[in-house]
Amino acid sequence: MTFDYAHLLPIVPEIAVLVLASILLLVDLWLKDEDKGTNHLIAVFGLLVVIGLTGVVGGGEREIVLSGSYIRDPMSDVLKIAVLVVSLLSFVYSRDYLRDRGLWVGEFYVLTLCAVLGMMVMISANSFLTLYLGLELLALSLYALVAFERDNPSGAEAAMKYFVLGALGSGLLLYGLSMLYGASGSLELGAVARAVAWQGADNQVLVFGLVFVVIGIGFKFGAVPFHMWVPDTYQGAPNPVVLFLGSAPKIAAFALAFRLLVDGLGQLHADWQGMLVILSVISLAVGNIVAIAQTNIKRMLAYSTISHVGFIFLGLLAGTTEGFAAAMFYAIVYALMAAGGFGLLVMMSRQGHEVERLEDLKGLNERDSWQAAMMALVMFSMAGVPPTVGFMAKLLVLDAVISIGLWWLALIAVFFSVIGAFYYLRVVKIIYFDKPEVIEPLVVGSGARVALSVTGLAILLLGLFPAALLTYCQAAFA
């Protein structure tokens, strides 16, 4: 079997990320402590180049390369660009934080880039093996990132919990995948789909495999009851890591779910639909209700993530192109909102003071009204208030669910959104109406300021003109 170098063309962006990470690793060796800003510049410009490359390589018909283990299709193009953009934003947000805390080392960028690479591999995976490879690259990088602030015991505890549970989750997913392999005789998603279509749900092993795969997906998304790692990890990890961990991987998790459940096991839709219904309903319920009781804003956002995952699942379980497009739209939009929300927390955290209590946001409006307005926008968007994009995302998902006749499910989702609106609005109230405990104005770097403004405006503009993104999401499944 000969190797065709043309097969490398679709994966040029991935290669570029790898090269970028390696360059950073090497450059960092020779950088003096005061020059560490170079890392940031290299990473940011490198990611810009990768975004460009993804755009150049992308577009057109789907291609399956590397002996069927890798795929580039319209969906992967959109998701990869979304992941890259959100990662870029998180770099920009984190710059000052890392500098002030003495965490400004090359490892942060290298690990994050490895995670990005893992996500890109996941998004483009066309076989169980590639998928798992990407997933583990992402997960391992994240475990290390969570414990990045080595002297912080709560960070270490969070990383430990994340790692042990994550290993269990990955193990179950892998177990499920191996059963699917046993039942279908192939690792490649297309071949698996054909084998499944032929055997159907009669094969006990397939059903077991499916169960474990759904557990693994549920874990990676952080859906209830596999959500336990989410709040603890969010609370313990340093803010920039939470920012990254809480945003882009949701997009990759969508890809994971779509590749496995739809590309691979689309024929078993009836089986996994039921499981996702349960997962999404309890995620919505637990996420929204528990979030109310949180006084730590990172924990609150963690539970809010869980409830948003419920919405993403709603779109997925619809099983229609409309539903997939809605779920994809939701995942991307959620990543953007999370980047904005956590981005502000990162920006507000000064040396020696990690912003994580709700009270820390008190009177933000008096300290910096523009940032306050952006944060309010993010909160309104998460609550699903028009005309922000969060509303559009919810609307599309609900529409997809109703269109397959599960209107009661849509009503449950609406009901819990109403409860969810409560705690988002509480944040808005704290920002605008409460007296600040610290009166000094917020010192924010220009990069982060621009990033937050871009995020906020994107939330607003995408809400007004959702077609700009939705068209791409729908084209991915056309």
Partner 1 sequence: MSMTLTLAVLLPFLGAAGVAWGSRLGRPTAILLALLVVLMPAILILSLLDPLVAGETHLEHFAWLPAAGLNIAFRLDGLGLLFAGLILGIGALVILYARYYLAAEDNLGRLYAYLLLFMGAMLGVVLSENLIQMLMFWELTSLSSFLLIGYWRQREDARTGARMALAVTGAGGLALLGGILLLGRMTGSYDLSIVLASGDLIRAHPLYVPTLLLILLGIFTKSAQFPFHFWLPHAMAAPTPVSSYLHSATMVKAGVFLLARLFPALAGTWEWNHLVAGFGMLTLITGAVIALFQHDLKGLLAYSTISHLGLITVLFGIGTPLAAVAGIFHIINHATFKAGLFMAAGIIDHETGTRDMRRINGLWRAMPYTGTLAMVAASAMAGVPLFNGFLSKEMFFGEAVGVANAMALGWLLPVAATLAGAFAVAYSLRFVHDVFFNGEPVDLPRHPHEPPRWMRVPVEILVVICLLVGMLPALTVEPILHLAVSAVLQGPPPVHDLAIWHGFSPAVLMSILAMSGGVIIYSVRKPIYGWWDTQGGRVDFRRAYERLLQGLLTLAGRVTLWLDQGSMPRLLRLFVAVALILGLAGWWGSGSPLTGPLTLLPLDAVSLSTGLALVLAAIATLVWHRQRFTALILVGAVGLMVALVFAKFSAPDLALTQLSVEVVTVILLLLALFFLPQTTPEDPPSPRRWGDAVLAVLAGLGMSILTWAILTRPYESIAGFFLERSVPGGGGRNVVNVILVDFRGFDTLGEITVLALAGLAIFALLDKLRLSGQRVAGPATAWHWDRHPLIVASLVRLLLPLALLVAVFILMRGHNLPGGGFIAGLITAIALIMLYLANGVAWTHARLPDKTHPVIGAGLLLATLTGLASLLFGHPFLTSTFGHVHWPLVGEFEVASAMLFDLGVWLVVVGSTLLILIHLGLMSDASRDGLAPGTPVRGSGAGRSAGDSPPGPGC
Closest CA to 319 of 384, 274, 354: 274
Exactly one of 429, 437, 438, 457 binds partner 1 (CB under 8 A); that residue is 429
Give the C-alpha separation, 282 to 338, whole Å: 21
Give the C-alpha separation, 116 to 278, whole Å: 30
Q: Cite the DSSP H helix spans in 7-127.
A: 12-30, 37-57, 74-101, 106-123
Instruction: Work out whether 457 is an interface residue with partner 1 (CB under 8 A).
Output: no
Instruction: Work out whether 286 is an interface residue with partner 1 (CB under 8 A).
Output: yes
The torsion angles phi and psi of 93, rounded to 5 degrees, stand at -60, -40
Exactly one of 9, 27, 425, 442 binds partner 1 (CB under 8 A); that residue is 425
Shortest CB 56 distance to partner 1, Å: 26
Residues 291-330 that bind partner 1 (CB under 8 A): 291-294, 322, 325
CA-based diameter of the chain, in Å?
71
Shortest CB 68 distance to partner 1, Å: 14
Shortest CB 55 distance to partner 1, Å: 22
Residues 138-167 that bind partner 1 (CB under 8 A): 160-161, 164-165
Output 1 or 34, the one with its CB closest to partner 1: 1
Residues 403-422 that bind partner 1 (CB under 8 A): 403, 407, 410-411, 414, 417-419, 421-422
Exactly one of 50, 137, 215, 364 binds partner 1 (CB under 8 A); that residue is 215
Q: Are the C-beta atoms of residues 387 and 460 closer than 8 Å to each other?
A: yes
- Cβ partners under 8 Å of residue 374, min gap 6: 340, 344, 452, 453, 455, 456
Part in contact with partner 1 (CB under 8 A); list of ranges 9-17, 131-139, 179-187, 350-358? 179-187
Give the C-alpha separation, 128 to 133, whole Å: 8
Instruction: Work out whether 450 is an interface residue with partner 1 (CB under 8 A).
Output: no
Give the C-alpha separation, 343 to 331, whole Å: 18
Output 45 or 433, the one with its CB closest to partner 1: 433
Output 120 or 173, the one with its CB closest to partner 1: 173
Shortest CB 153 distance to partner 1, Å: 13
Shortest CB 449 distance to partner 1, Å: 20
Exactly one of 185, 197, 351, 438 binds partner 1 (CB under 8 A); that residue is 185
Give the C-alpha separation, 302 to 286, whole Å: 11
Exactly one of 222, 264, 384, 390 binds partner 1 (CB under 8 A); that residue is 384
What residue has token string 């996500």?
A: 119
User: Which amino acid is located at 140 in the chain?
Assistant: L
Output 208 or 370, the one with its CB closest to partner 1: 208
Residues 39-78 that bind partner 1 (CB under 8 A): none
**In a 3-state reduction of DSSP, which class is residue 148?**
coil
Output 71 or 210, the one with its CB closest to partner 1: 210
Closest CA to 96 of 338, 352, 447: 447
Q: Are the C-beta atoms of residues 404 and 464 closer than 8 Å to each other?
A: no
Output 246 or 323, the one with its CB closest to partner 1: 323
Q: Are the C-beta atoms of residues 378 and 337 closer than 8 Å to each other?
A: yes
Exactly one of 25, 156, 289, 454 binds partner 1 (CB under 8 A); that residue is 289
Instruction: Work out whether 358 is an interface residue with partner 1 (CB under 8 A).
Output: no
Instruction: Work out whether 202 is an interface residue with partner 1 (CB under 8 A).
Output: yes
What residue has token string 């969906």?
A: 75
Residues 217-276 that bind partner 1 (CB under 8 A): 225-226, 228-229, 231-232, 271, 275
Site size with partner 1, rule: CB under 8 A: 74
Paired tokens of 29? 């060796």
Exactly one of 55, 133, 208, 277 binds partner 1 (CB under 8 A); that residue is 208
Instruction: Give burial (CB, 10 Å; 0-12/13-18/19+) of 41.
Output: exposed
